[in-house]
Amino acid sequence: MSCRVLDAPQAALQELWPLAERQARAHDRPVILSCAEHCEPVDPIALFARAASHLPRVLWLVPEREEALVGLAGQRLPLQSVTSPSLPLPARLAATWRALAQDALAEGPLPPLAVAGLAFDPADERPDPWWQPFGRGQLLLPRLLYRQQGALACRSVQAAVFPGEREPRTLLTWPTSSLPTPSAAPRSVVQHELVRPDDWRRMIQHALAAIAAGDLRKVVLARARELVAAEPFPLEQALRELAARYPSCTVFAIGIGETVFLGASPERLARVAHGTVATVALAGSRPRASSPEQDHRAAEELRRSDKDRHEHALVVEAIRSALAPLCTSLSIPGEPVVVSMANVHHLATPISGILHDGTSVLDVVARLHPTPAVGGTPREAALAFIRQREPVPRGWYAGALGWIEASGDGEIVVGLRSGLVRSQQARLYAGCGIVADSDPVAEWAEAEAKFRPMLEALAGG
């Protein structure tokens, strides 16, 4: 693979820079500048994996839809310069992008685009060195952007031009294929449970007591597992494994320095396009079985399970309540369907709506995140319970990650079936929804099934 910034976008960026800087001075805030052109398709995973690690980089890939996005050399956009610090962080991200994008200058076939990421619980102040580079939330403007839909591909160069910044910064070059072919996943991996079985049982017992007392209706509890390998984990190979095994999921990776958060999420938090919003309630699950007969029986048991249908209904109702103020109409099927992934069956209800004018995907996220599918209900009580009882902070696990165009259209997924990798170490996460009749043993087994995607990708099984 050979890929470099083309002369045309660079020249256009330099030509438009003085105009962008004048606008930045006039409005006293940064102005987004983007210049793009069509290009030949390239391998998005290789492009991400070969990028320099000292600058933020992002991969977004949905194999089944033939959609890919790679953002390199991410420039962190300042939030406090355009929004009130008193706003909750998700709302600040939405307001920041709205303020910056309204004056954006663009040339070529790609609109300006930013990448947004949020922790599961931005209010959780417990320190964790693993997640320190990511913070509680970020809005990144990729300096180099590659986007693909089927056989159509484009590249662009982007910048946030600040008042007084009269000349372009040095433009970066795209990675080349000079690195060696990725090696197979290391087989010598030691695993450590960070939440032991006794800890898990006690957490669930406390949750069941809170539910019985009426303090909670549902809470999602998460396990964490640490992996240590003899050699650094081969991230490119891991991403290829995830894409091959889970083609209907969103394979994502965001690298900040030497730390990479990656996974294959089955859950879309929100997609906004041309004034419509689409999301999905995904709650209630069963591990896949080895034989077709047992697997069919597991799916039918899930479909008829009162416990899982109750858990699922709580998520549907929370999404309905969150989206109603943003929409002129909502479409919600009366019954969930069973969606089967490679490792688990899920109950799923697709939800769509017509948005009020000017509503962006980040406005939707500010209302939805975190849903009861990953947090619980009532939301604040569930989050407080998780902060108190879970021993390992989640960081961006079960958080929100995705992209947004200048128009406000975009897509955000929930950071599930995921883990954090740093050289020879990795930390994986898996969660389960706890309701009144949850069983700790069954929930432990369900979490084991949810660990599988990352274990297979990183450790070969």
Give residue 156's identity as a one-letter amino acid code. Answer: S
Give the distance, in angstroms, between the CA of residue 209 and the centroid of all CA atoms in the same chain: 32
Please list, in sequence order, all residues whose beta carbon lies within 8 angstroms of the beta carbon of residue 70, skipping any fewer than 6 positions away. Answer: 44, 47, 48, 51, 57, 58, 59, 60, 145, 146, 147
The tokens for 158 are: 């982007």
Active-site residue flag, 218: yes
DSSP state of 121: -
**Beta bridge partner(s), residue 271:** 278, 411
Task: Give, in degrees to the nearest 5, the angle at Cα 42 between 341 and 57.
Answer: 75
Q: Are 397 and 427 in contact (CB under 8 A)?
A: no
Give the distance, in angstroms, between the CA of residue 238 and the centroid of all CA atoms in the same chain: 17
Q: Are 39 and 154 in contact (CB under 8 A)?
A: yes
Please, is 40 exposed, middle or buried when counting C-beta atoms within 10 Å of its C-beta (0-12, 13-18, 19+)?
A: exposed
Separation CA 341–CA 251 (nearest Å): 14
Side-chain-side CA neighbours of residue 295 (13 Å): 12
Separation CA 23–CA 166 (nearest Å): 11
Please, is 306 exposed, middle or buried when counting C-beta atoms within 10 Å of its C-beta (0-12, 13-18, 19+)?
A: exposed
Q: Which of 21, 218, 311, 405 is catalytic?
A: 218
Q: Are 154 and 109 in contact (CB under 8 A)?
A: yes
Q: Which of 21, 241, 267, 390 is catalytic?
A: 267
Separation CA 388–CA 21 (nearest Å): 48
Active-site residue flag, 267: yes
DSSP string, 334-388: SS-EEEE-SSEEEEEEEEEEEEPTT--HHHHHHHHSSPTTTSEESHHHHHHHHHH
The closest alpha carbon to 453, from 288, 308, 311, 291, belongs to 288
Please, is 389 exposed, middle or buried when counting C-beta atoms within 10 Å of its C-beta (0-12, 13-18, 19+)?
A: middle
Q: Are 357 and 312 in contact (CB under 8 A)?
A: no
So which residues are the catalytic ones? 218, 267
